[in-house]
């Protein structure tokens, strides 16, 4: 059996974590098994399922500057005790430099950096991330990316392999009875227009602008609500912003949910005005649910595979976004199955791409 060490921040419900679980559930676990090296001290949403599927979860020290000596000491001991890992696959973008450097020192032969974004968060670690991004080539052996733009951003070349952000497509196909059930649960009338958003409440997702868009839309269609699914480090700030928006009574924060496939059914449109993205998993899910999707032009166009996707300039006014959403005819939402339009986004086909990559890399490792 090939054991692959997946390196992440944590395994809470978010885009890349959900993508990883989609692959993990579908690949042949008698041949390939995932274990997870996290960088948070506490248990995450998916940890129990990982263990149930046969995986292990390890908790490394957090990657803060004052912890680097402790981190590399911990990693040295970890790899000494776990020489079974011939492949480490890191998903923390520029910060992947640190675990991959530790793996290189330990002699792990296959060291994969995986790009999931087209920019870097401007947080307190921004200068360090720029440095590590420039040093990644010194510690990796292989490059994966969720899409073309994400790969070119992190690696500054075109040598990467694209691993699609695939989902269990059949879970998201439109179902009218589920739509009615969810709206009943949320006490949303049948005729109310629902603007939906799913995403971590963090800087890249641009939630203040999302609320501005909805405020303008609500002025055009008073019988409308905004559903925001997700949590994150900016949650309190965004809720306070919503409280001051004048339309707070029509905004519902649903927090983290494990039934987003059901929630998409209750939406009428999906809006993602991100400042930057890789290939957003939520955009793929929303398309499989048959929703009209409004993305900022900072979302790579490669996410689009249905004829209901619209890209709007990020610098356009909230009024412009609202007017474009208002033009959409939602009465013809069909029970269409559009997986054939881009099968690589359907996990039942896409998992083979990753399986084959791991098999080839493991064989290379064995050959020395």
Predicted TM-score of the model (pTM): 0.88
Within 10 A of 29 (CB to CB), how many other CB atoms are there? 14
Question: Cα separation of 329 and 135, whole Å?
Answer: 49
How does pLDDT run across 131-177, given as a tens digit for each residue?
Answer: 999 999 999 999 999 999 999 999 999 899 999 999 998 899 999 99
Over the chain (368 residues), what is each successive 10-residue block's mean pLDDT? 96 92 96 96 93 96 78 96 97 95 98 94 77 96 96 93 93 93 97 97 96 98 97 96 97 95 97 95 94 96 91 98 94 56 79 96 91
Q: Which two tokens stand for residue 303?
A: 């996410």
* b/e burial code for range 159-181 (CB count within 10 A of at least 16 → b): ebebbbbbbbbeebbbbeebbee
What is d(CA 46, CA 12) in angstroms, rounded to the nearest whole number?
A: 6
**In this structure, what are the phi and psi dihedrals at residue 224, rounded to the nearest 5 degrees?**
-145, 155
- Please tell me the predicted confidence (pLDDT) of residue 340: 46
In eight-state DSSP terms, residue 342 is: -
- Cα distance between residue 116 and residue 135, in whole Å: 17
Residue 74 and residue 97: Cα distance in Å, rounded? Answer: 16
Torsion of CA 326, 327, 333, 338, to 10 degrees: -110
User: Measured between alpha carbons, how far is residue 84 from residues 20, 106, 126 in Å?
Assistant: 21, 12, 34
d(CA 289, CA 335): 9
What pLDDT does residue 41 have?
A: 85
8 A C-beta contact, residue 325 and residue 270:
no
Tell which residue, 65, 139, 126, has the closest CA to residue 99: 139
> Of all helices (H) and strands (E), which one includes residue 310?
strand 309-312
Domains of the chain plus CATH, in order, are 2-166+346-367 (3.40.50.2000), 169-344 (3.40.50.2000)
Q: What does the pLDDT look like over 268-292, one tens digit per residue? A: 999 999 999 999 999 999 999 999 9
Residue 81 CB-density burial (10 A; 0-12 exposed, 13-18 middle, 19+ buried): exposed
Please give the distance of CA 84 from its chain centroid, rounded to a whole number. Answer: 29
State phi, psi for 92 to the nearest 5 degrees: -110, 35
**pLDDT in the model for residue 190:** 94
Q: How many CB atoms lie within 10 A of CB 77?
A: 11
């Amino acid at each position: 059996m090939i054991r692959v060490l997946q390196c992440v921040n944590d395994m809470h419900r978010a885009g890349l974590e959900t993508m990883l679980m989609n692959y993990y559930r579908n690949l042949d676990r008698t041949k390939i098994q995932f274990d997870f090296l996290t960088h948070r001290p506490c248990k995450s949403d998916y940890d129990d399922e990982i263990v149930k599927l046969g995986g292990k979860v390890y908790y490394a020290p957090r990657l803060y500057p004052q912890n680097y000596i402790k981190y590399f000491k911990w990693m040295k001991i970890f790899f000494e005790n776990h020489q079974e890992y011939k492949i480490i696959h890191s998903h923390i973008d520029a910060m992947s430099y640190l675990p991959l450097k530790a793996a290189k020192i330990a002699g792990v032969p296959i060291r994969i950096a995986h790009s999931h974004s087209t920019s870097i968060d401007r947080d307190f670690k921004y200068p360090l991330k720029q440095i590590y991004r420039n040093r990644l080539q010194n510690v990796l052996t292989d490059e994966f990316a969720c899409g073309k733009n994400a790969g070119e951003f992190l690696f500054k070349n075109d040598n990467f392999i694209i691993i699609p952000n695939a989902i269990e497509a059949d879970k998201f196909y439109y179902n009218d009875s589920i739509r009615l059930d969810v709206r009943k649960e949320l006490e949303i009338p049948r005729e109310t227009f629902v603007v939906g958003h799913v995403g971590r409440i963090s800087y890249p997702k641009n939630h203040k602008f999302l609320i501005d868009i909805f405020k303008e839309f609500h002025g055009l269609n008073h019988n409308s609500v905004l559903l925001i699914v997700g949590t994150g480090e900016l949650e309190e700030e965004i809720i306070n912003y919503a409280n001051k928006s004048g339309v707070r009574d029509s905004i519902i924060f649903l927090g983290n949910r494990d039934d987003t496939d059901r929630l998409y059914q209750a939406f009428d449109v999906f809006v993602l005005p991100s400042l930057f993205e890789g290939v957003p998993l939520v955009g793929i899910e929303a398309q499989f649910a048959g929703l009209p999707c409004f993305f900022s032009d900072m979302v790579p166009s490669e996410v689009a595979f249905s004829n209901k996707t619209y890209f709007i300039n990020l610098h356009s006014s909230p009024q412009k976004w609202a007017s474009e959403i208002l033009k959409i005819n939602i009465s013809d939402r069909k029970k269409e199955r559009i997986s054939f339009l881009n099968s690589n986004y359907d996990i039942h086909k896409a998992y083979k791409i990753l399986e084959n990559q791991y098999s080839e890399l493991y064989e290379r490792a064995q050959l020395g």
